[in-house]
Amino acid sequence: MDPATLADRRRRRLLIATIAGGAVLLLLFGVGVYGLLRGPAPDTDTTPADSPRSTVTSPPAGTAGEGPVAVPQQGGSEAFARAVAGALFAWDTTTGDGPMDYAQMLADVAADEEADALAGDVRAYLPSVEAWGQLRQYQTRQWLIVDTAVIPEAWDTAVAQAAPGQIPAGIVAYTIEGTRHRDGTWGTEPVEASRPVSFTVLIVCTPAVTNRGVTGTTCELLRLSQLDNPLR
């Protein structure tokens, strides 16, 4: 990458840091949105499922049972938002991995400027180490089926009200709605449970530039809203 491109990228990152860390979030507060700065309550649920069922729904391929999976950063903003959502909820206590291993997959796609704050967001979605140990006793797995990923009206309002250049191109929020599934064993019986969830991911996508020119976009994760308290 040539020096001019590197310098431009550094300037862009600095601008994103300034905006994502302050002005955008203040603007969202101004339209009554307060979830982006707050992580969800820690997952302390240590039961594999709420109640036994006669039929257990298996996780789709690539969503659980294979250990931590890297989050693809190409393919566009919506595809990235959906991939982040899947990675946030997909874990399996039977693989030998721990919550930090799954958290690392999201840390790997974090925007540098928001990495520390995002780490707190991600940790709050995952079971604690103590809860993980209890869940392992029940061979618990979890995954998410995403129903919708849409840009919320609150984000459109924020963008419309922002001063020119205040929100750099490429930053966007997606509100995810879906169903969280969890299964495991209780004694010798398979059990499973599911519940609807919703949350918002704030991401930034920038052109992927090589010495041959622009080849699509690369996306990074900025922040996560509180669970079940998304932008609408």
Over the stretch 15-59, which tens digit does the pLDDT of each residue have?
A: 344 334 443 443 443 333 333 333 344 565 666 654 444 344 556
pLDDT higher than threshold 50 for residue 163: yes
pLDDT of residue 38: 33
pLDDT band for position 11 (cuts 50, 70, 90): very low
Whole-number pLDDT of residue 188: 87
**Range with the poorest average pLDDT among 99-108, 161-170, 216-225:** 161-170
pLDDT surpasses 50 at 98: yes
Q: Token digits for 212? A: 């041959």
Domain boundaries, the chain: 3-224
Q: Specify the higher pLDDT residue, 165 or 141.
A: 141
Mean pLDDT of 211-231: 87
DSSP state of 122: H
pLDDT, greater one: 169 or 74:
74
Give pTM, 2 decimals.
0.78
Q: Residue 54: what pLDDT?
A: 35
Asked if pLDDT for residue 228 goes beyond 80, the answer is yes
H helices of the chain, where? 3-18, 24-30, 77-89, 99-107, 115-125, 129-137, 153-161
Q: Is the pLDDT of residue 85 over 60?
A: yes
Q: Which residues contact 137 (CB under 8 A, 6 or more apart)?
A: none
Looking at this protein, which amino acid is placed at residue 37? Answer: L
Q: 100: which 2 tokens?
A: 């930090």
Distance CA 180, CA 193 (A): 8
Output the pLDDT for position 214. Answer: 66
100 or 52: whose pLDDT is higher? 100
Does residue 198 or residue 7 have the better pLDDT? 198
